[in-house]
Structure 1
C-alpha cells in the first residue's frame, strides 16, 4: 500500500510538473507574439503585417541615410567652393553618418530579425559592431556640436574669427571629435566591461556602471550641455542685435515737422518733412542680420532634432545599469533606432538652409545625365 501510495504521489508530482512547464511555455509563446521579434527558442518568428512594415521602414531608413550622406560627401568633394570651413565640419558629420548607415544599422537590423533579439553572429563580429556603434554615433553627436560652435563663433566673434582661425579651429575640433569617440569605443576592448554573453547570446554596449557613466557623459551629456549653452548664447546675441537696431532706427514723424527761423526780423521759413519711413541701413548690415537669423534657426533645429532623437536612448542607457531596471527589449530597440535616425536628419537640416547645396545637387545630376 505504501508503495502504491508512493507511486501515486510520484505520478501526481510529475503530472503537476509537466502541467506547470506547459503553462510556462504557453505564457512565453503569448509574450513572444505580443512583442515583435521575441519568440521562444527553436520556433520560427511569426512575422505579422505590422512587423514586416516596421522592418521595411527600418531598412528604408538605413538605405536613405547611407545614400543621402553619400550624396553630401560626393558634392563636397566635387565642388571646389565647398573645400573650406564650415563644409569640412559638414563632411566630417557626413562621414560618421555614412559609417552609421553602412556598418551599424544593417547589423542592428539583423539583430532585430533574430528570435528574441539574440546575437548569433559570434563574439568577434559583436565586438566590431559595438565598437563601430559607439565610435560612429559619438562622432556624429560631437560633429553636430562642432557645427553649432562654429556657427556661434562666426556670429559673436566675426572680427576675430577669421578664415584662417576658423580653418584651424575646425580641424582641431574634427581631430578631437574622432579621438574622443575612439577612446570611448575602444575602452571595452581593453577590458572595461563585457559586451558579449555567449550563454544568453547577448551583444550590447558594456553595462559596467563606471563605464556607463563615463561613456554616456562623454558621448551625449557633455555635448548636450555645450549645444544648449551655445544656442542660449546665439539667442541672446540675436536679441541684443535686434535691440540695438531698434534703438538706432529713425522713427517716422507722425505729423509734418515745422522749423521756424529764430530771427524775428527775417521772414519765417517753414520746412516740412513729408511722412515717410526713413531707414539708415546698409546692404552689409542687412546681409549680416539675415545671416544671423538663418544661422540661429539652423542651429536651433539641428539641436532640437539631436535632443529629441538621442535623449530617450541615453536616459535609459544611463539608468538601466545603475538601478538594474528591466526595460522591455522592444523599447530599447525603439530608442536605439530613434537615435540612429538622427544620422538621417543631419544632412537634411544643414543642406536645407544652404542654397548652394541645392544648386550643387542639381548640377551633379545634370552632369551625370
Structure 2
C-alpha cells in the first residue's frame, strides 16, 4: 500500500514542491494518498500491539488463553485494528485539501507570472484543531501502543529468561525444550521487530509534534519531514531482513519455496535377489 498508493505521488511532491495535478482528480489523490499513508502506519503499530498482547496472554496468562487465542478472536482483533485505523485517520479526508498558488519566475529584474500550481496541505478551522489532532496521533496511536508493547514484552522476557518456572523445567525438561524454547525464539524475533518499528518511526512522530507546537516550519521543513519519513518507511525493508536472519522456520520455508524437485531412479535390492527400479522425488536445495 505504501509503495503503490503513497510513495509515487508524495515523492513527486517532495521533489517538485508541487502537487501532481489539480481539479477533482488532484483533490481526490491529495486526500486519498495522505489517508492511506496514515492508515498503513497506524495499522502496522496496532498489529504489532495485538501480537504483543496475544503473546503475553499465551505465555503469562495461559489460564485465559484458551478463550482469547482462537481463530474467531483473531478475526475480531484484525477487524478492530482496521476499524480503528480507518476511523482515526478519517480527519485527513476532511481537512486535507488542495491549495492553489501563483507560480512566479524571475527574469533579470522582473517577476513574470508563470501559471498556477497546487499544494496538498491541511486546512483546519483553527490552529487548535491541528495541534490537538497531532497530539492525539502522537500520544494515543504511537506512544501508548509502544508503552503497552514495552510492558508486555518486558513481562514475557521476565517470564521466559529472568524468572522462568523452575519447577516445570526440572519435572519435565523435554517438555520445556519442545514448548518453551520455540516460544523464546519467536519472542526474540518479535522484540527485534518491535524495537525496529519504534526506533525508525520515533524521529518522524517526535519532529511532527515538535514542529506543530514550536511552529518551526521554515524553508527546510519539507526536506526534514521527507528524510524522517523515509527513515520510517525503511522499516518496511528491515522487517524481511529480521525474519530472514532470526527465524529458522522462515529460512526453511524460503528454501523450500525456491527449491527444485529432481527425479532420481534408485535401484532397490529385494529379499529374493531381484532388482527393482523405483522413482523417488528428492528435494534438493538448488537455486
Q: Is the 8 A contact 1:313 1:336 kept in 2?
A: yes
1:357 aligns with 2:250: yes
SS in 2 for 1:201: strand
Partners of 1:206 and 1:180 in 2: CA distance: 23
Paired residues for 1:189-268 under 5 Å: 189=93, 191=94, 193-199=95-101, 201-204=118-121, 208-242=130-164, 244-245=165-166
TM-score between the two structures when normalised by the length of structure 1: 0.57
Task: Choose between structure 1 and 2: higher strand proportion.
Answer: 2
CA distance in 2, matches of 1:345, 1:206: 34
**Which residue of structure 2 lines up, in the alignment, with residue 104 of structure 1?**
6
Q: Is the 8 A contact 1:313 1:339 kept in 2?
A: yes
Deviates more, 1:291-300 or 1:180-189: 291-300
Which digits, 9 at most, give the CA deviation of each residue in 1:286-322, with x for residues without a partner?
Answer: 2333134213312221111011111100011112122
Q: Match for residue 50 of structure 2? A: 146
Cα deviation code 1:206-231 (max 9, x no counterpart)? 67112222233343122112211212
Contact 2:97 2:122 in 1 (8 A): yes
CA contact under 8 A between 1:181 and 1:219: conserved in structure 2?
no
- Higher Cα Rg: structure 1 or 2? 1
Residue 119 of structure 1: which of 7, 14, 19 is its match?
A: 19
Matched, 1:133 2:37: yes
Write the deviation string for residues 40-86 of structure 1: whole angstroms up to 9, x where unpaired: xxxxxxxxxxxxxxxxxxxxxxxxxxxxxxxxxxxxxxxxxxxxxxx
How far did 1:359 drift?
2.7
Change in 2 beyond 3 A, CA 1:362/1:292: closer
Q: 173, 176, 184: which one pairs with 2:77?
A: 173
Give the match for residue 276 of structure 2. Answer: none
Distance 1:206 1:162 in 2: 48
State the Cα deviation string for residues 159-203 of structure 1 (Å, max 9, x = none): 5323873323322221111111101222232x3x34432238332
- How many residues of Structure 1 are paired with residues of Structure 2 in the alignment? 236
The alignment's C-alpha RMSD in Å is 2.9
8 Å contact kept, 1:206–1:212: no
Distance change (3 Å), C-alpha of 1:160 and 1:354? farther
Cα distance change on mapping 1:297 and 1:205 into 2, 3 Å:
farther
Given the superposition, is the C-alpha separation of residues 303 and 164 from structure 1 closer, same or farther in structure 2, using an over 3 Å criterion? closer
Query: Aligned to 2:65, what secondary structure does the other structure show?
Result: coil
Aligned residue for 1:138, secondary structure, equals helix
Shift of the 224–119 alpha-carbon distance from structure 1 to 2, 3 Å rule, reads: same
1:161 alignment partner, SS class: helix
- Could you tell which deviates more after superposition, 127-136 or 205-214? 205-214
- Aligned counterparts, 1:337-356, within 5 A: 337-350=230-243, 352-356=245-249
TM-score normalised per structure 2:
0.71
Structure 1 unaligned regions, length at least 5: 1-98, 250-278
C-alpha distance in 1 between matches for 2:83 and 2:54: 19
1:156 aligns with 2:60: yes
CA distance in structure 2 between the partners assigned to 1:218 and 1:195 by the alignment: 25
In 2, Cα distance between the equivalents of 1:106 and 1:100?
A: 9
Structure 1 CA distance for aligned equivalents of residues 160 and 29 of structure 2: 49
CA contact (8 A) 1:188 1:206 kept: no
Bigger RCO (CA 8 Å, 6+ sep): 1
Instruction: Find the aligned partners of 1:217 and 1:198 in 2 and give their Cα distance.
Output: 33
Gaps of 5+ in 2: 102-116, 125-129, 262-286
